[in-house]
Amino acid sequence: MKNKLKIQRAIKDITQAQLAEAIGVSRQSINTIEKGKFVPSTVLALKFARYFEVSVEEIFSLEDDD
């Protein structure tokens, strides 16, 4: 799964730590999601979408091998 979490953070000009606090996860979780090493749950993906005021699809997308 590909994600644009880092891009969304840049648009809002926030750090991983600030996003983590707002969403209720650790900064390390944000880091591993951004690197594509962890796929967030549906609930967490929805929290990101709500926080950034975009659709889930604007942040996360399937890759061909998913």
Fold adopted by 2-61 = 434 Repressor (Amino-terminal Domain) (1.10.260)
Cα–Cα dist 20/32, whole Å: 12
Query: What is the pLDDT at residue 63?
Result: 80
**Among the listed residues 38, 21, 1, the one whose alpha carbon sits nearest the alpha carbon of residue 9:** 21
Task: State the pTM of this model.
Answer: 0.91
- How many CA atoms within 13 Å lie on the side-chain side of 12? 17
Query: What is the pLDDT at residue 66?
Result: 58
Q: Which tens digits make up the pLDDT trace of 9-59?
A: 999 999 999 999 999 999 999 999 999 999 999 999 999 999 999 999 999
* Domain definitions of the chain by residue range: 2-61
